[in-house]
Structure 1
Amino acid sequence: MFSIVGDWIYEIRRWINRLTGRGTQRRTPLILERQFLPACAIIRLERDTIGSVDTWRIVPRQGSHDFLVAIDSFRKIKSEISKKTKLRSKKPGVKTWHHTLTPEAKQLLLWKPPKTNATHLFWVEKVSRIPLDGHIKMQCVGIWAFDLEGFSPAWAGYDRYPQAIVRRAVKTIAILPEPKFSINVADADCWLQAVSDAAKAFLGQLHHI
């Protein structure tokens, strides 16, 4: 489990670095949707990392940080990383993929999803807009495991529930007026409440694990 979550975090942070980089290092993802609200703008982005289901960027009108809010398929993460690990091990002379994690990422690795029921991972990351000391600063606000298949597992294949749930959670926070917005957008408990309420609305019961 440690290896799976570690590689997943590494992939996400590489994508964030490309998103926020400067010059030739910058890679602008496809914008799928955009909406302007009194306290912020919300942008739905295409993301090509392992297990990606849906990704939103919240751009506050005040402050120097944005927030990435996303949901990923835990099953796809496990499957894809397992395949990559096997391919690397079969190539002669190729060493196992090692990487360095930030302190926040190392703390994330202490969290372990349940062995069976987790189908999706919901996470929120605070990201500086301007490099500080030459680096974009990232801080994990929170990460949670959910069973988002509900009573109709066939829907999970199209990720309809997860996409609808993260959309509602993002808008629940984004429509708040100041100063409530600035407080809630950086609060892990507020995000957990927003996504739990959205999961209840679509699935009929609390599916937080």
Structure 2
Amino acid sequence: MQVLRWLNLLVEWVQVRMRRRRKKRSKSYILKRHYSDDCAMLRIERETKGAIGTYRIIPKLGDWDYLLTLDSLREIEAELVGEFDGVPFLLRSRADWDAPPLSHRLAVFHLYRSGTIHCLGCWDINLEVLGGGNAAAINPSRIFHTAALRILEITPTKVLSWQEQLEMLDWVGLVEEAAKGYWGRNFTMIVRRRI
């Protein structure tokens, strides 16, 4: 699936959720809430293809929220080639076979109060390491969750406000540091910037 098509599906999902929220005030899609002195962070259920994790960060001050998403490239870029005993069989497109082993798509957005959305960045990254005894136990959603929780630790300084620090945050570096906590300090993330 091309990046712009994926981005359009994600924007459509956000717009539907924002409309629903205004109408019903339903919070059934919120899986977990976290709070700091400067923001609230909501872990949100997202039913789109390949969704691994979705977090909405709502600052106490500011004109926009942040939306962090992590999706499985294996699922969003795969093509259905058949079915065996009721199990779908997916295969990545042939053009991706020679590409580096990128496994996930990380994206960060501004969500404005007016309902508009702006993509701050979109990166294809690797969060899976093959081999090793505990490789199967390390789930990319745990790595993403750890990275998201680190945002709650950001505090304003005399020089920079909380939101100014978030605007300058190295989002990929944040996820890479969380991954190193699971894979070890020698882990190096492969990154391809998409937007």
Would the TM-score normalized by the shorter structure come out above 0.5?
yes
| Number of equivalenced pairs | 171
Question: Cα offset for 1:26?
Answer: 8.3
Note if 1:32 corresponds to 2:31.
yes
- Amino acid of the structure 1 residue aligned with 2:75: K
- Amino acid of the structure 2 residue aligned with 1:74: L
CA distance in 1, matches of 2:128, 2:24: 37
CA RMSD of aligned residues (A): 2.9
1:30, 1:45 within 8 Å by CA — same for their partners in 2?
A: yes
After TM superposition, the structure 1 = structure 2 runs for residues 1-209 of structure 1, keeping only pairs within 5 Å, are 4-21=2-19, 30-79=29-78, 82-83=79-80, 115-129=99-113, 131=114, 136-152=115-131, 160-178=138-156, 179-187=160-168, 189-204=169-184, 205-209=187-191
The percentage of counterpart residues that share the same residue type is 27
1:52, 1:73 within 8 Å by CA — same for their partners in 2?
A: yes
1:196, 1:208 within 8 Å by CA — same for their partners in 2?
A: no
The Cα offsets for residues 54-110 of structure 1, whole Å up to 9 and x where unpaired, read as 11110000012110111100010012xx34xxxxxxxxxxxxxxxxxxxxxxxxxxx
Moved more, 29-38 or 66-75: 29-38
1:119, 1:145 within 8 Å by CA — same for their partners in 2?
A: yes
- Structure 1 residues 74, 14: closer, same or farther in 2, change over 3 A? same
Q: With structure 2 as the length reference, what TM-score do the two structures score?
A: 0.75
- Structure 1 residues 24, 122: closer, same or farther in 2, change over 3 A? same
SS of the residue corresponding to residue 198 of structure 1 reads helix
In the alignment, what sits opposite 1:88?
none
Moved more, 17-26 or 167-176: 17-26
Question: Cα offset for 1:198?
Answer: 1.0
Unaligned runs of 5+ in 1: 84-111
2:110, 2:120 within 8 Å by CA — same for their partners in 1?
A: yes
Structure (1/2) with the larger helix percentage: 1
- Structure 1 residues 58, 156: closer, same or farther in 2, change over 3 A? farther
Question: Cα offset for 1:171?
Answer: 1.8
2:70, 2:107 within 8 Å by CA — same for their partners in 1?
A: yes
SS of the residue corresponding to residue 74 of structure 2 reads helix
CA distance in 1, matches of 2:103, 2:110: 24
- Amino acid of the structure 2 residue aligned with 1:206: T
- Amino acid of the structure 2 residue aligned with 1:197: E
The Cα offsets for residues 164-197 of structure 1, whole Å up to 9 and x where unpaired, read as 221122122222112442123223x521221111
- Amino acid of the structure 2 residue aligned with 1:139: H
2:143, 2:182 within 8 Å by CA — same for their partners in 1?
A: yes
- Amino acid of the structure 1 residue aligned with 2:167: A
2:32, 2:42 within 8 Å by CA — same for their partners in 1?
A: yes
Q: With structure 1 as the length reference, what TM-score do the two structures score?
A: 0.70
- Amino acid of the structure 2 residue aligned with 1:121: R
